Amino acid sequence: DTLAHHFVYWVVLFVYFLLAAVTIMNMMIGVLVEVVKCASHVEQDSLDVKALLDSVLAGIQDAEVTSMVDPTVFKISKVKFWQLLDNQEILRSLQGCSIDVCALIDV
C-alpha cells in the first residue's frame, strides 16, 4: 500500500516538472520571437530611411534646387521645398515611410 502511494507521488512530481519545463520553454520561445521581430522592424526602418534619403537627394539633384558640396548639409527655401514635393517619386517615398505629407506642408 505504501509503495502505491509513493508511485503516485512520483508520477505527480514528474508531471509537475514536465509542465514547468514546457511552460518555461514556451516563455523563452516567446521572448526569442519578440527579439527577432524587434530586430526585423529596426532593420526595415533603416532600409526605409536609406531609400528615402536616396530618393530625396536624387530629387534635389534632378531639380537642381541647390548646389550641394556635401549632400547631407544644405539649405533650401520653402518655395523650393514645395517644388520638391511636386515630385511623385519623393511623395511616394515619404508616404512609404509613413510621413504625413499634408502635415509636412503645413510646417
State residue 2's pLDDT score: 61
Cα–Cα distance, 90 to 55 (Å, whole number):
6
What is the percentage of the chain residues whose pLDDT exceeds 70? 85
State residue 3's pLDDT score: 65
Burial of 63 (0-12, 13-18, 19+ CB in 10 A): middle
Read off the pTM: 0.63
State residue 40's pLDDT score: 97
Residues of the chain with pLDDT under 50: none
Cα–Cα distance, 25 to 9 (Å, whole number):
24
State residue 34's pLDDT score: 98
Identify the DSSP state of 73. Answer: B
Cα–Cα distance, 94 to 100 (Å, whole number):
8
Q: Which residue has the cell 523563452?
A: 28
Cα–Cα distance, 82 to 92 (Å, whole number):
15
Tens digit of each residue's pLDDT (9 = 90 or more) over 52-76:
888 888 887 777 665 666 666 777 7
